[in-house]
């Protein structure tokens, strides 16, 4: 692998994301030689850590995620880490940071390349971006920035943040990260759709009845009640992960696999996204909250959650496009906390065919991508005894050995940032469309709240979410495939 010289600055270097995801991923990339001798990482955060303490934390993070490591390698790797205690609003701190980055650049011959990673509370993203610009933190090589979600909390704030970031970075150098795009089966959607005759030719409105995306979680909000109150399922899961998955399922075939062509195809689709009106939102969207009788499982009883909260922990709805291969095909989604199990899956429901056997069940293509990875085609076949048909599954499931080879999403995505491949990141034009859609739903729900008519379905934990989500379909012949 080509060795990429770089000085990387992680804002939020003492945080959970850096510890659990970034440090182990960077170590793996170091092991593969993508970053090796010519790199330095500066971790910044408020805490008064020393370089040595950061290095011990990075070493712990590697040991926690790897069964066996070469201790010398870990030591060499962590020696490239430096810590700077940093208040994101303090101009002088940026001056110090700039000087440290320049010294390290010289020391490691990083060729003026800079990578900034925003891994801290999103309310600071704009401030940091502004200071990077005002205090000239960029180098004279490449300058890239990785921004964690959420990118804004509505279209207006996302636009403002984008303005702050684009003051120093070109669109091509901004990597808005969505970890779902690093997942194996999500990366498998394009090959599945466009390199199989059977799917390439049937993936259209003539053949598909509807598409269903379910992102179900077994866990509740846990210790994140404070953040979640400002977000809710729509902003936390739909605006980013669900929409990215839907985009991959509905976009036209790109001209090539180059990142620009993939983004072009996505944008073409998203420019035809239909924004639902209030009546449609009432009919086809549901919000819910988990509310068990046992207080532990009631959202309103979670720490840092308002006892009258109207924040949704479940959202279901309908997405449609005017253009693209599945124009006008209903795409249903649902996501929620405290479901019966963790299950991320996509169901492509094909239309009924005329059959000599009378009414037959739909063929369904199911892609499961968490916690297991599999592709299943459910078809009709003859009953062994007796008359008529039964449903059969043709399944390709990843073995344990294959699963073990799958790199973590963050490792994949960081790799792509280093090699400047933006295929699996969100471009501004896409994000804008997502926010337009989310804003319409949020506004409609907000209006209901203000009129005292908030319709928030309460659902029992560890089941399938609110039963109201069974009524969002356009036609009575439609239902959730995963029940």
- Residues 163-222 touching ligand BG6, rule: CB under 6 A, are 217
- For ligand BG6, give the closer residue by CB, 95 or 370: 370
Cα 182 from Cα 412, distance rounded (Å) = 6
- For ligand BG6, give the closer residue by CB, 344 or 378: 344
Q: Which residue is nearest to ligand BG6 (CB)?
A: 236
CA atoms within 13 A on the CB side of 222: 3
Q: Measure the CA angle with vertex 267, ends 266 and 270; round to 5°.
A: 90
Shortest CB 236 distance to ligand BG6, Å: 5
Nearest by Cα to 223 from 298, 121, 302: 302
Token digits of residue 257: 């696999």
Shortest CB 149 distance to ligand BG6, Å: 6
Token digits of residue 27: 């170590």
- For ligand BG6, give the closer residue by CB, 23 or 151: 151
Catalytic residue among 19, 241, 284, 427: 241
Shortest CB 354 distance to ligand BG6, Å: 40
Strands 343-350 and 364-370: antiparallel
**Annotation says 86 is catalytic:** no
Q: Measure the CA angle with vertex 159, ends 157 and 160; round to 5°.
A: 65
- For ligand BG6, give the closer residue by CB, 212 or 378: 212
- For ligand BG6, give the closer residue by CB, 252 or 407: 407
Phi, psi of 362 (to 5 degrees): -70, 145
- For ligand BG6, give the closer residue by CB, 38 or 214: 214
Shortest CB 112 distance to ligand BG6, Å: 33
- Residues 402-461 touching ligand BG6, rule: CB under 6 A, are none
Shortest CB 417 distance to ligand BG6, Å: 18
- For ligand BG6, give the closer residue by CB, 268 or 370: 370
- Residues 315-354 touching ligand BG6, rule: CB under 6 A, are 344
Residue 77, by phi and psi: left (phi above 0), alpha (psi -120 to 50) or beta?
alpha
Quick one: which H or E segment has residue 53?
helix 51-65
Instruction: Give the chain's length.
Output: 483
Could you say whether residue 363 binds ligand BG6 (CB under 6 A)? no
- Residues 215-244 touching ligand BG6, rule: CB under 6 A, are 217, 236
DSSP code of residue 129: H
Cα 453 from Cα 289, distance rounded (Å) = 15
Shortest CB 330 distance to ligand BG6, Å: 24
Token digits of residue 39: 């790199």
DSSP code of residue 19: I
Give the 3-state secondary structure of residue 83.
strand
Shortest CB 321 distance to ligand BG6, Å: 24
Could you say whether residue 370 binds ligand BG6 (CB under 6 A)? yes
Q: Taking a C-beta distance cutoff of 8 angstroms, is the pair 98, 42 a contact?
A: no
Shortest CB 344 distance to ligand BG6, Å: 6
- Residues 12-51 touching ligand BG6, rule: CB under 6 A, are none
| Residue given tokens 């065919």 in the structure block | 353
CB atoms within 10 A of CB 253: 14
- For ligand BG6, give the closer residue by CB, 143 or 244: 244
What are the DSSP calls for 141-197, one per residue? Answer: S-EEEEEPSP--SSHHHHHHHHHHHHTTS-GGGEEE--GGGGSHHHHTHHHHHHS-H
Cα 293 from Cα 100, distance rounded (Å) = 55
- Count residues binding ligand BG6 (CB under 6 A): 4
Q: Which positions are catalytic?
A: 241
Q: Which residues bind ligand BG6 (CB under 6 A)?
A: 217, 236, 344, 370
């Amino acid at each position: 692998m080509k060795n990429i010289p770089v000085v990387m600055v992680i804002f939020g270097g003492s945080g959970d994301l850096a510890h659990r995801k970034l440090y182990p991923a960077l170590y793996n990339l170091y092991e593969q030689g993508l970053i090796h001798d010519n790199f330095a990482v500066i971790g910044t955060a408020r805490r008064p850590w020393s370089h040595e303490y950061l290095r011990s934390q990075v070493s712990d993070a590697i040991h926690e995620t790897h069964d066996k490591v070469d201790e010398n390698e870990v030591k060499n790797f962590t020696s490239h880490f430096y810590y700077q205690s940093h208040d994101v609003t303090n101009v002088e701190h940026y001056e110090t940071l700039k000087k440290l980055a320049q010294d390290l650049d010289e020391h490691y011959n990083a060729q003026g390349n800079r990578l900034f990673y925003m891994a801290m509370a999103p309310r600071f993203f704009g401030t940091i971006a502004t200071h990077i610009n005002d205090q000239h933190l960029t180098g004279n090589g490449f300058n890239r920035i990785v921004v964690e979600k959420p990118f804004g909390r509505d279209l207006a704030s996302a636009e403002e943040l984008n303005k702050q970031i684009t003051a120093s970075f070109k669109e091509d150098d901004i990597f808005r990260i969505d970890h779902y795009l690093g997942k194996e089966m999500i990366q498998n959607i394009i090959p599945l759709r466009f390199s199989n005759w059977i799917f390439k030719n049937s993936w259209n409105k003539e053949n598909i009845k509807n598409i269903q995306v379910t992102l179900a979680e077994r866990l509740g909000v846990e210790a994140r009640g404070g953040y979640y109150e400002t977000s809710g399922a729509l902003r936390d899961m739909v605006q980013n992960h669900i929409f990215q998955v839907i985009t991959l399922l509905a976009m036209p075939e790109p001209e090539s696999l180059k990142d620009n062509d993939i983004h072009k195809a996505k944008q073409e689709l998203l420019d035809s996204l239909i924004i639902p009106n209030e009546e449609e939102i009432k009919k086809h969207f549901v919000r819910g909250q988990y509310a068990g009788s046992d207080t532990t499982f009631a959202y309103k009883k979670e720490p840092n959650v308002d006892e009258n909260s109207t924040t949704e922990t479940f959202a279901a709805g309908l997405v449609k496009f005017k253009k693209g291969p599945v124009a006008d095909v209903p795409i249903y989604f649902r996501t929620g906390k405290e479901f019966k199990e963790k299950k991320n899956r996509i169901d492509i429901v094909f239309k009924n065919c005329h059959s000599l056997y009378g009414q037959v069940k739909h063929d369904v293509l199911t892609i499961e991508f968490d916690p297991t990875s599999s592709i299943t085609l459910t078809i009709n076949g003859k009953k062994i005894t007796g008359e008529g048909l039964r449903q059969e599954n043709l399944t390709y499931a990843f073995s344990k050995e294959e699963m073990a080879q799958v790199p973590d999403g963050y490792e994949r995505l960081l790799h792509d940032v280093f090699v400047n491949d933006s295929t699996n990141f969100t471009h501004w034009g896409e994000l804008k469309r997502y926010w337009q859609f989310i804003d319409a739903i949020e506004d409609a729900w907000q209006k209901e709240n203000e009129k005292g008519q908030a319709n928030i379905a309460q659902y029992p934990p560890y089941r399938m979410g609110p039963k109201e989500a069974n009524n969002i379909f356009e036609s009575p012949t439609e239902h959730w495939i995963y029940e």
